[in-house]
Structure 1
Amino acid sequence: MGRKPHPIIQELTIEKIASEGKSLGYYKDKVVFVANTAPGDVIDVRVHKKKKSFLEGSAIKFHKKSDLRIEPFCSHYGVCGGCKWQHLSYEDQLGFKSEQVKDALERIAKVELPEMLPILGSKNTTFYRNKMEYTFSNNRWLTTEEIESGEKFDSDALGFHIPKRFDKIVQIEKCYLQADPSNAIRNSVDRFAKEHNISYFNLIKQVGFLRNLIIRTSSTSQTMVILQVAEENTEWLNLIMNHMKESFPEITSLLYIINQKGNETFHDLDVHVFHGKDHIIEEMEGLQFKIGPKSFYQTNSEQAYELYKVARNFADLKGTETVYDLYTGTGTIANFIAKSAKKVIGVEYVPEAIEDAKVNAQLNNIENTEFFAGDMKDVFNDEFLAQNGKADLIITDPPRAGMHPDVIETILGIKAPKVVYVSCNPATQARDIALLDEKYKVSKVQPVDMFPQTHHVENVVLLELR
């Protein structure tokens, strides 16, 4: 018995932008989410997910195209899953991101808001990322156009995961997210590996040699390349690493990892230096930051500077304050504001990140920062505060999931005059602000666009004690 075909909704009008980069329309009593569309599109939709309150599908025919729509610039648009807003002008993208922040604060936080400051757009809307990660696979995804061409394609691919298909990789020819030499390195490695019959990893069977390629660049023109392999094959490893070393003298840090785990994470694995240094250097306002293979650093360097300037301006430090920087990461914000404060205490749950933070302080001769590793909800308690001093300001920059409720309770108990909340997820930020509303009012809101061509947006909120 054959599988029941997916239902088709005809001539659905897309009404507005929704979450996760999708847009939505209304069909009978349900919301319909559709990716790669814009308000004003009239489309036929093939439904592939049905829930009680909503449907989700993909556009299969356009009866009318929105006036907002522009021509995407990347040949991989709509396939690789990245840069989902290429079909919208950058001006419209910024407008939708501002609405996203405003909607989250009004609908989820339900607090009284001041007038929101205009979103800070990115100077560069392409080639703005300093880190890209690519996957090797012997299970290449073929696009509809490639299938219809009748050509025979190599089954090996180096590129990005297809959304919701971890085992399929789309071959990337040119990515507009990271500047040269990124595309040249990736394409050269791919050609060389295929010419020398070096095996690509099978993500289901967990066999093969080449697994993952990470390219990191910096504003100081340094380049790090990290190759993950699944076997201790010295011949193949030396062959491909020497190829990169000789072909790209601009690589200042050439590293490799032998990863025999079931996934590509490597925070618990040894990183080996094949050539050059074990790090690259990033600079911001005269400060230097050491970036290792496991270090976190904001992926848009230019906009990270703008983001941190907003946080510093909101803090309005006078030089006498004790500042607590929660979720400090590698101490970028802490070290960035240190010269304006009496003391800055950074707390982060990743021990390696804290070691990086300490190194970055030493690198810049900063003596008024202290860094502590541990789970935020466990470390950030009354005893810790008694040892390190009363907080005049709290800066918090949590992961997408937001702050743990225990951390929020501790902040409410501290009653610092000001809290500067930096977030990459306006929804969880709004949820946390609703809890902080008991003692804090929202004084300023500043969205910052770190990720052009995507729906993601950073937001900085100043909270002041009531």
Structure 2
Amino acid sequence: MTDTTLVGSKFDIPDVPESSRLVEKEDNECEVAESETLKLETAIDTCENKEHDPYSYTRLGDFTSEIFKIELGNLPNYVGYGQLRKLLNITLSLSPRKIKAIGSPPKFVFITFKDTGDRDYALKVLNGYVWKGKTLSAKKANPAADPMVKKRKAGDSEDCLNSKKAKQDDTPVELRLKNAVTPYWNIPYDEQLKKKETDVRQFLIKLGSQICQFNKLLKPHIQKNRTDNNNLCCPLLPIKPSPTTKAYRNKCEFTVGKHLHTKEKTVGFRLNAYKEGSMSVAEPDDCINISKEMLRAVKSFQEYIRSSPRDVFNPENHEGFWRQLTVRTSNNEDVLLIVVMHPQDLSQNELEEEKKKLKEYFEVGLGRMCGVTSVYFQLFTKRSSNDEVPKLTHLMGSKFLEETLLGMKFQVSPEAFFQVNVPATEILYSMVTDFVKPNSSVSVLDICCGTGTISLCLAKAGAKVIGIEMCPEAVENARLNAEKNNLSNVQFMCGKAEDVILNAIKDCDSDEIIAVVDPPRAGLHEKVLKAIRGTDKIQKLIYISCNANAAFKNFIDLCRPTSNNYRGNPFYPVQAAVVDMFPHTPHKEIVLIFERYN
């Protein structure tokens, strides 16, 4: 998948802290033996005296698009991300991997590509190209410096005792991790809910203001809503709390690394991002959103790698093997693991031997004590510019796990999306069903349907549903789930939503279509949004978002005036709701209902 994220100034999509993404991601002093302290001080002296090259990562075996980078300058004033992406991808048929804007408005942008051919072709096409009255300039650009090396040179990385970070932050590691993973852990739950509801209110005020600026036709509707709803662009229902606030996560991706103080191989979460000068990992023992079953699996795998002669993967020099552990649990007592390893130069025989050891450890060895029901193995390397996700190898146990939600059974494959908090999800999906008001005369398009959870909930309530999902394994799960729950009024299409949505719309035999979308964090693809806009039969859209700021452009585009680019009458927001899917964090699930302006 091409990554065309435009970063910088007004184009920013708010960063999600790595610890929060891994989890959606008290006061004990760490003691280090004298001999270990001496070893650490020696390593630090070496670190300080050694000349570090911030570009050495470009000469490692793994692929980086930074070596195929150009600088594009003399841009038109106030150019937007969508306009630039359209120019590069559609008008000029280029294949950018990443786009980063510098300045506001941007004075220039950096664009990376997957190989020399793509980069050189882009240079040839872009240099001298006239766009919006400006003649663009394009030239080769140097790769970005390694942020870890930059932090270390500035004395602000945490791997040297005399660094600014080490001197300034004497907070115990356990508390630092809790603050990173669950920053609201010490705030009473009622206050957490108030903070989140306040955040949503501020967002709806901002959304209303922007809609009024972009579409004068909708201004009377928005102004009336503002008057009736304390300046909000639409009514907001009271926030729905999570039925459970502890041990609610059924999926976590744990980083494998070294402990900050002991330097032991550790499975847990990073204390901070790599770009902030941190590679240290701490154990998640005190993270209150993680279950005992999940923690047992983490500890068991940690014992395995500590007994292994192979080291953990180092993100700075790309040496080492063990990279990540994904743990998925279910309310049916399933525990599924995905072990991720960098192969380095291991032979196929050596890899097969490692797989055999893992299988035996969790099947008949010490690992069997943690109740793992399924283990997968995945090799992850960036030695190729190929964007395909490495395939999983099933080692033992069931090939999937099973969840129960709203009285229905759902089969979930290892990489398929499923909401991380099942009790809160039941509230969310019941709310969506109420908003849809299913009946036999209405068809529902469930876009980004995953394993079919929303689709089946709506079908069970009487709607005719077509689900769209790009993950083949998830679609297979969805079809099996429909069969398992005896639901025949639902079908599923596999493919990117932007590629199959028009066919799905043709298959809807109702005069009225309601679209339900639960897209990834960054929001809907522009083509999908335009297809929804351009389909008159779609009179209502229910948009579920775990990051409303990231989806903000989607909301504005739905409400833009009709044009050649955005066909069909605009939508406008008529109702908002919020469910606390992620207690002890700032994150929440927002539902926005849009209706067509007629």
* Global fold match (TM > 0.5): yes
Deviation of the 1:173 alpha carbon: 4.7
User: Aligned to 1:425, which of 526, 542, 547?
Assistant: 547
User: Aligned to 1:395, which of 516, 522, 533?
Assistant: 516
Alignment partner of 1:270 is 2:379: no
Cα distance in 2 between the residues matched to 1:380 and 1:291: 24
TM-score normalised over the length of structure 1: 0.75
Match of 1:204 in 2: 316
- SS of the equivalent of 1:434 reads helix
- SS of the equivalent of 2:356 reads helix
User: Aligned to 2:452, which of 315, 319, 331?
Assistant: 331
Q: Using a 3 Å threshold, how does the CA distance of structure 1 residues 73 and 450 change in structure 2: closer, same or farther? A: farther
Greater strand content: 1
Cα distance in 2 between the residues matched to 1:430 and 1:268: 28
User: Aligned to 2:336, which of 224, 231, 252?
Assistant: 224
Cα distance in 2 between the residues matched to 1:377 and 1:423: 18
Q: Which amino acid aligns with 2:488?
A: E
Cα distance in 1 between the residues matched to 2:463 and 2:486: 15
Alignment partner of 1:456 is 2:584: no
Match of 2:199 in 1: 100
Residues 424-433 or 328-337, more deviating: 424-433
Deviation of the 1:341 alpha carbon: 3.4
Q: Using a 3 Å threshold, how does the CA distance of structure 1 residues 460 and 73 change in structure 2: closer, same or farther? A: farther
User: Aligned to 1:156, which of 265, 273, 282?
Assistant: 265
Cα distance in 1 between the residues matched to 2:321 and 2:235: 55
**What root-mean-square deviation, in Å, do the aligned CA atoms of Structure 1 and Structure 2 show?**
3.3
Alignment partner of 1:318 is 2:439: yes
User: Aligned to 2:406, which of 285, 301, 311?
Assistant: 285
Match of 1:379 in 2: 500
Q: Using a 3 Å threshold, how does the CA distance of structure 1 residues 409 and 160 change in structure 2: closer, same or farther? A: same
Alignment partner of 1:172 is 2:283: yes
Q: Which amino acid aligns with 2:435?
A: F
Match of 2:253 in 1: 133
TM-score normalised over the length of structure 2: 0.60
Q: Using a 3 Å threshold, how does the CA distance of structure 1 residues 394 and 78 change in structure 2: closer, same or farther? A: same
Deviation of the 1:304 alpha carbon: 1.2
Alignment partner of 1:297 is 2:414: no
Q: Report the identity percentage.
A: 26
Q: Using a 3 Å threshold, how does the CA distance of structure 1 residues 245 and 262 change in structure 2: closer, same or farther? A: farther
Greater helix content: 2
Q: Using a 3 Å threshold, how does the CA distance of structure 1 residues 202 and 78 change in structure 2: closer, same or farther? A: closer
Residues 439-448 or 217-226, more deviating: 439-448
Gaps of 5+ in 1: 1-18, 23-50, 63-71, 147-152
Alignment partner of 1:215 is 2:327: yes
Deviations 1:230-253 (A, max 9, x none): 344444443344233343362211
Cα distance in 2 between the residues matched to 1:78 and 1:124: 21
Q: 1:76–1:172: 8 Å Cα contact kept in structure 2?
A: no
Q: Using a 3 Å threshold, how does the CA distance of structure 1 residues 385 and 83 change in structure 2: closer, same or farther? A: same
Q: Using a 3 Å threshold, how does the CA distance of structure 1 residues 189 and 284 change in structure 2: closer, same or farther? A: same
Cα distance in 2 between the residues matched to 1:61 and 1:154: 20
User: Aligned to 1:119, which of 222, 226, 239?
Assistant: 239
Deviation of the 1:75 alpha carbon: 2.6
Deviations 1:269-314 (A, max 9, x none): 3322322111110111221111111111111111111111111111
Deviation of the 1:432 alpha carbon: 2.9
- SS of the equivalent of 2:534 reads helix
- SS of the equivalent of 1:414 reads coil
User: Aligned to 2:466, which of 342, 345, 362?
Assistant: 345
Deviation of the 1:123 alpha carbon: 2.2
Deviations 1:187-224 (A, max 9, x none): 23223432454432233333333222111100111111
Cα distance in 2 between the residues matched to 1:250 and 1:366: 32
Q: Using a 3 Å threshold, how does the CA distance of structure 1 residues 299 and 262 change in structure 2: closer, same or farther? A: farther
Q: Which amino acid aligns with 1:181?
A: E
